[in-house]
Every structure is written in structure tokens, then in C-alpha cells.
Amino acid sequence: MVNNRQPYWALADEHRVGFIAYSLDREKRSASIDNFYVLPSERRQGYGTVIVQAVYACLDRLGVQLIELNVRRDTPQALAFWESQGFRIASYRLHQYRDPKTGTS
């Protein structure tokens, strides 16, 4: 797997509006979107969709067939955005943060 921690910045009129970073597994023909962010002042203007479409085009050229990402449960706007980009919930991954000193969550 190729991990790319360096973000790809999206520019509009020479200023940054957001970024994306992803990991690529050429052998499995899959990718994982690791980081995605659109500046609050630039949201709801279509920049997120443009960024995702640009990444889709790049990954299509590389023959990627599966793209995965994680969305936090407490970010319904993010879930709605990714569903509008064609993603669907594939699994649930549960976490529990515990205090080992008290034995409580």
C-alpha cells in the first residue's frame, strides 16, 4: 500500500479551498481517502464535489475499483456529502474508550 500523507490542495482563484489525501493499494486496486477538508468559508459552493471528482478521475486512470473512507457518526453533514458522492455504508466499526484506572468507559 502506498500511503500519501501529503495533501493535494484544491485551489480557486489562486487560494486554497480544501484538500484531500489518500492511500493507494495498486495490488488490490483499491484506495482509501484518509483526509478530506473544505474550509468552512468555502463550503456549500461545490468545491467538495469538484475535489472528489478530480480524485475519481485520477483513481480511474490507475484502475482503482474500490474506494473506502471513514465518516464519524457525529457528522451527519459529512455522511450526507459522501452518500451524495456515491458512497454507501458498508460496515459499522464500534469503539469504546476506557479509563484503565477506573475500569469504566
Whether residue 4 is predicted with pLDDT greater than 90 in this model: the reply is: no
In a domain, 101, yes or no: no
pLDDT in tens, 43-84: 999 999 999 999 999 999 999 999 999 998 899 999 999 999
Range of the domain at 65: 2-84
In a domain, 89, yes or no: no
Q: 66-68 and 30-38 as β-strands: parallel, antiparallel, unpaired?
A: parallel
CATH number at residue 58: 3.40.630.30
Q: What does the pLDDT average to over 2-16? A: 83
Whether residue 89 is predicted with pLDDT greater than 60 in this model: the reply is: yes
Question: pTM higher than 0.75 for the full model?
Answer: yes
In a domain, 93, yes or no: no
Separation between Cα atoms, residue 43 and residue 62, nearest integer Å:
29
Into how many domains does the chain fold?
1
Whether residue 2 is predicted with pLDDT greater than 70 in this model: the reply is: no
Whether residue 41 is predicted with pLDDT greater than 80 in this model: the reply is: yes
Task: Give the burial class of 77: count Cβ atoms within 10 A of its Cβ; 0-12 exposed, 13-18 middle, 19 or more buried.
Answer: exposed
Separation between Cα atoms, residue 81 and residue 20, nearest integer Å:
15
